């Protein structure tokens, strides 16, 4: 609760009018010491007394209570929480002093902050628009189609010296008609860019790493080979059970593992369910994480040590601008290696195909979580030995996308939320159960979405559980290669849920689930 600087205002106004504290206190019917406490903001003041003091000071009581200032203080506290200002360690309570002493400076700061947030939002929106706007995709397709018709007809005229006059006229007509359509399409494109006023994308380190993984097709052949070598090392210590992996970590890298009760842990360090203290070389887990997560984190740390060179070789070629992005990329690739160790490529692919990608059975076979299985399925992209192409997405219960690997044809938003109709959001209503959905996107493409919400970390009495939902999406074309196509008529018109990529990127203007206005437009097809 914000405490408005009423006392400061009373004191300032009293001095402006030349009253002493004692004189004002006497007229208000209170002691001078009590007024002193009020002016020091150590006693609250309201009701009749506030009205009396306001009257004596010849101001409105609202001016003293400072409702507007209260909002200003709240807003300044949000400014203090801005990630890019974290290193300044701003004291949120200092906002009260700033508003009390220099309200215009406070308003100026807030105006700048709002302009900054608007710019960030606009940049993200324009970035999405350039990369995923269906208008651009359709326009490129139209341009190529018109050019194809023009080129083909031109070649016929060019080479057809024996063409009958009516044939010549016909192909001239095609060229003329298609040229007109091409001009219209080009004008629409020019108008689009006039409106878009595109700017260079401002990349955050997370965006940089996202782009790097996506551009790599989320598959790293050299790391697959490196992971095979690490798995052979782990085999010498008894395989992939958590204790054997911990024995390897201790023997080969001098790292001790231990469990910590959530109530005794500094939870800020445990966002990834574990914390490695490089100084004491200790890997600590929260007591209540699953064994599959524990094993994954041990193998991930092992990979970061044992495969440091191979991981570094990948990140060096990635052209990551910031050092933070380099660090994030190394972490992401350590996780990739852990996944490749736990799910050997050929064995996992062979098993997945044989089981028709039944993730529940795969989880049991490989003693892993749904997220780990899904993540690995999305990386089976070895040229010549690919699995089914899967898009991967993870969201928190607030709907925010926390991880994503799109497919070339299936864009997933980089910022904020996806379409509220996606199975990933429905799954939170029935945790620990797979939801299947046949989804139709605005371009008519159909995908099967499977999602499962699960507890990433069980709660304790003082700590709510951490929940996430993970979704895989694949082209309905591949339905019969998976158990998720069983009993599903992927062509049935009424079965598919009409969805979009995200509200602001979606052209379904009549959708009743829309929560944001679209920034994209269709070519009038839908």
Partner 1 sequence: MIAVARGPAWEKGGERGVADVSARILIAEDEPHIVESLSFILTQAGCTVSVVYDGAAAIEAMQARPLPDVLILDVMLPKRNGFEVLKWVKSEPGLKDVPVMVLTAKGQQQDRETAEGLGVDAFITKPFANRDIVACVKRLADA
The number of CA neighbours under 13 Å toward the Cβ of 132 is: 26
Which segment (14-22, 149-157, 224-232, 243-251) binds partner 1 by CB under 8 A? 149-157
| Candidate residues 44, 148, 169, 256; the one interacting with partner 1 per rule CB under 8 A | 148
Quick check: 434 binds partner 1 (CB under 8 A)?
Answer: no
Q: Footprint of partner 1 on residues 452-481 (CB under 8 A)?
A: 477
- Binder of partner 1 out of 18, 162, 164, 492 (CB under 8 A): 162
CB of 155 to partner 1, least distance (A): 5
Work out whether 149 is an interface residue with partner 1 (CB under 8 A). yes
Indicate whether 522 belongs to the interface with partner 1 (CB under 8 A). Answer: no
Q: Does residue 168 bind partner 1 (CB under 8 A)?
A: no
CA 100 to chain centre: 38
Q: How far is CA 400 from CA 115, 212, 396, 420, 469, in A?
A: 23, 21, 6, 11, 10
Binding to partner 1 in span 232-261, by CB under 8 A = none
Q: Does 385 bind partner 1 (CB under 8 A)?
A: no
Stretch that binds partner 1, among 66-74, 90-98, 143-151, 342-350 (CB under 8 A): 143-151
Tokens (6 digits) for 195: 């409106």
Whether 311 contacts 330, CB under 8 Å:
yes
In this chain, which of 29, 48, 254, 408 binds partner 1, going by CB under 8 A? Answer: 408
> Can you list the alpha helix ranges (DSSP code H) found in 277-419?
291-306, 308-316, 323-342, 345-354, 359-366, 370-377
C-alpha span between 248 and 280 (Å, rounded): 17
Residues near 105 by beta carbon (within 8 Å), at least 6 away in sequence? 98
Distance of CA 510 to the CA centre of its chain: 26
Q: According to CB under 8 A, which one of 86, 409, 509, 515 is a site residue for partner 1? A: 409
Choose between 444 and 524: whose C-beta lies nearer to partner 1: 444
Q: Would you count residue 495 as binding partner 1 (CB under 8 A)?
A: no
Could you tell me if 262 and 288 are in contact, meaning their C-beta atoms sit under 8 angstroms apart? yes
Give one DSSP letter per residue of 216-274, joined into a string.
TTT--HHHHHHHHHHHHHHHTTTSSSHHHHHHHHHHHH--EEEEE-GGGS-GGGGTTSE
When binding is defined by CB under 8 A, the residue of 152, 187, 347, 364 that contacts partner 1 is 152
Q: Please select the residue that binds partner 1; options are 491, 495, 513, 515, rule is CB under 8 A.
A: 491
Number of C-alpha atoms within 13 angstroms, CB side, residue 324? 6
Q: Which is nearer to partner 1, 110 or 143 (CB)?
A: 143
DSSP 51-120: HHHHHHTTS-HHHHHTHHHHHHHHHHHHHHT-GGGGGG---TTHHHHHHHH-HHHHHHHHHHHHHHHHHH
Q: Check residue 174 for interaction with partner 1 (CB under 8 A).
A: yes
Q: Would you say 91 or 155 has its CB closer to partner 1?
A: 155
Tokens of 201: 């994308």
CB of 288 to partner 1, least distance (A): 42
Stretch that binds partner 1, among 71-79, 108-116, 154-162, 220-228 (CB under 8 A): 154-162
Which one of 60, 386, 486, 516 is in contact with partner 1 (CB under 8 A)?
386
The one among 128, 133, 178, 211 contacting partner 1 by CB under 8 A = 178
Site residue total, partner 1 (CB under 8 A)? 29
Q: Which of 156, 355, 488, 519 binds partner 1 (CB under 8 A)?
A: 156
Helix, strand, coil shares, percent, the chain, to 5: 55, 10, 30
User: Is residue 172 at the binding interface for partner 1, with CB under 8 A as the rule?
Assistant: no
CA distance 477 to 383: 20
Residues 6+ apart with CB under 8 A from 233: 248, 252, 306
Residue 151 as a binder of partner 1 (CB under 8 A): the answer is yes
CB closer to partner 1 out of 477 and 483: 477
Looking at residue 202, the DSSP 8-state letter turns out to be -
Q: Assess 137 for contact with partner 1 (CB under 8 A).
A: yes
Q: Any bridge partners for residue 417, and if so which?
A: 400
Q: Is 155 in the site for partner 1 (CB under 8 A)?
A: yes
Between 173 and 397, name the residue whose CB sits nearer to partner 1. 173
Footprint of partner 1 on residues 344-373 (CB under 8 A)?
none
- Interface with partner 1 (CB under 8 A): 137, 140-141, 144-145, 147-153, 155-156, 159, 162, 167, 170-171, 174, 177-178, 386, 408-409, 444-445, 477, 491
């Amino acid at each position: 609760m914000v405490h408005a600087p009423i006392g400061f205002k009373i004191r300032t106004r009293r001095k402006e009018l030349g009253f002493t504290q004692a004189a004002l206190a006497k007229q208000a019917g209170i002691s001078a010491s009590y007024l002193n406490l009020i002016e020091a903001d150590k006693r609250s003041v309201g009701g009749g007394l506030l009205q009396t003091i306001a009257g004596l000071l010849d101001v409105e009581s609202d001016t003293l209570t400072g409702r507007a200032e209260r909002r200003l203080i709240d807003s300044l506290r949000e400014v203090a929480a801005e990630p890019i200002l974290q290193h300044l360690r701003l004291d949120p309570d200092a906002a009260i002093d700033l508003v009390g002493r220099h309200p215009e400076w406070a308003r100026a700061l807030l105006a700048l902050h709002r302009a900054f947030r608007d710019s960030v939002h606009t940049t993200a929106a324009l970035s999405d628009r350039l990369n995923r706007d269906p208008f651009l995709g359709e326009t490129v397709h139209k341009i190529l189609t018109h050019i194809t018709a023009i080129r083909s007809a031109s070649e016929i005229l060019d080479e057809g010296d024996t063409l009958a006059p009516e044939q010549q006229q016909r192909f001239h007509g095609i060229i003329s008609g298609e040229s007109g359509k091409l001009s219209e399409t080009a004008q629409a494109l020019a108008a689009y860019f006039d409106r878009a006023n595109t700017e260079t994308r401002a990349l955050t380190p997370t965006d940089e790493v996202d782009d790097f993984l996506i551009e790599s097709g989320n598959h790293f052949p050299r790391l697959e080979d490196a992971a095979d070598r690490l798995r052979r090392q782990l085999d010498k210590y008894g395989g992939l059970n958590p204790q054997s992996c911990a024995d390897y970590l201790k023997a080969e890298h001098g790292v001790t593992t231990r469990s910590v009760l959530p109530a005794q842990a500094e939870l800020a360090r445990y966002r990834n369910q574990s914390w490695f203290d490089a100084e004491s070389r200790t890997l600590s887990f929260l007591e209540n994480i699953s064994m599959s997560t524990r094993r994954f984190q041990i193998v991930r740390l092992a990979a970061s040590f044992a495969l440091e060179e191979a991981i570094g070789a990948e990140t060096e070629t990635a052209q990551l601008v910031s050092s933070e992005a380099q660090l994030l990329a190394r972490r992401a690739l350590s996780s990739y290696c852990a996944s490749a160790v736990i799910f050997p490529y050929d064995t996992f692919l062979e098993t997945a195909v044989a089981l028709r990608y039944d993730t529940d059975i795969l989880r049991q076979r490989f003693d892993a979580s749904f997220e780990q299985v899904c993540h690995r399925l999305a990386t089976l992209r070895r040229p010549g030995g690919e699995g089914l192409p899967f898009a991967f997405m993870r969201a928190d219960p607030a709907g925010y996308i926390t991880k994503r690997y799109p497919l070339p044809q299936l864009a997933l938003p980089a910022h904020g939320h996806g379409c509220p109709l996606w199975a990933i959001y429905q799954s939170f209503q029935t945790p620990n159960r797979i939801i299947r959905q046949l989804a139709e996107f605005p371009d008519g493409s159909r995908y099967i979405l499977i999602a499962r919400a699960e507890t990433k970390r069980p709660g304790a009495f003082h700590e709510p559980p951490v929940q996430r939902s993970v979704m895989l999406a694949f082209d309905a074309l591949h339905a019969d290669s998976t158990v998720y196509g069983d009993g599903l008529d992927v062509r049935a018109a009424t079965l598919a849920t009409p969805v979009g990529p995200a509200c602001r990127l979606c052209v379904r203007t009549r959708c009743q689930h829309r929560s944001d206005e679209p920034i994209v437009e269709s070519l009038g097809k839908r």
